[in-house]
Amino acid sequence: MIRNNCFRSLLIRLTCLLIPAIACGYPTVHIEEPRRTPTNEEIEGNWISERCRSMESRREDNPRIWTCSWEFNSDSTFVMRDVPEWLMVGNWKGEENSGSGKWTIEKNVQGNWVVSLDFSLVNDEEYHVQRRLLIYGKDPPYSLPVFLGDADAGRTIVFTKVE
């Protein structure tokens, strides 16, 4: 009887320790951070994702090849073109979304460098929402990955700069 109580007590303690750890989702994804603060010049320009293109073109009901792209301008404005709703979750209409707004480079709450996007227009309608794109890589040229669902699952769409 005493052994059962000890075992039950140990099981309860372990459960109390593991549930918060699982709920908080200790990340196992290794983020390759830039060695220094990324500059605006390193982000300015056109960024595309070949994987975004190939994922959508495989759908039988949608033979269209998407051209998911971002354009980061030197005046701190950006233009997003043909980005599917499932990639940048929001109250957007349809599958194909375009938008614009202002961008800055900053650190997120986890201390990672990100391109912070402050949307002002989506699909030709006023729409204010903020999103962040992680800046990945130790040195330029960087990449901008977007994790699909749980980051630990390894499903990402990676945007690379077009030189």
Tell me, what's the pLDDT at 35?
A: 92
CB 122 within 8 A of CB 99: yes
In order, the DSSP letters of 3-37 are HHHHHHHHHHHHHHHHHHHHHHT---PPP---SSP
Where do the structural domains in the chain lie, given as residue ranges?
32-161
First to last CA, the chain: 72
Residue with tokens 């729409």, as numbered in its chain: 127
pTM beyond 0.85, yes or no: no
DSSP 85: T
Pick the range with the lowest mean pLDDT from 37-41, 137-141, 143-147.
143-147
99 Cβ contact list (under 8 Å, min separation 6): 79, 80, 83, 119, 121, 122, 123, 127
Looking at residues 50-65, what average pLDDT do you find? Answer: 54
Looking at residues 59-70, what average pLDDT do you find? Answer: 64
Per-residue pLDDT band for 65 (boundaries 50, 70, 90) equals: low
pLDDT value at 1 more than 90:
no
Pick the range with the lowest mean pLDDT from 13-22, 88-97, 145-154.
13-22
Domain range 32-161, CATH class: mainly beta
55: nearest Cα among 79, 94, 93, 86: 86
Tell me, what's the pLDDT at 17?
A: 42
pLDDT value at 24 more than 90:
no
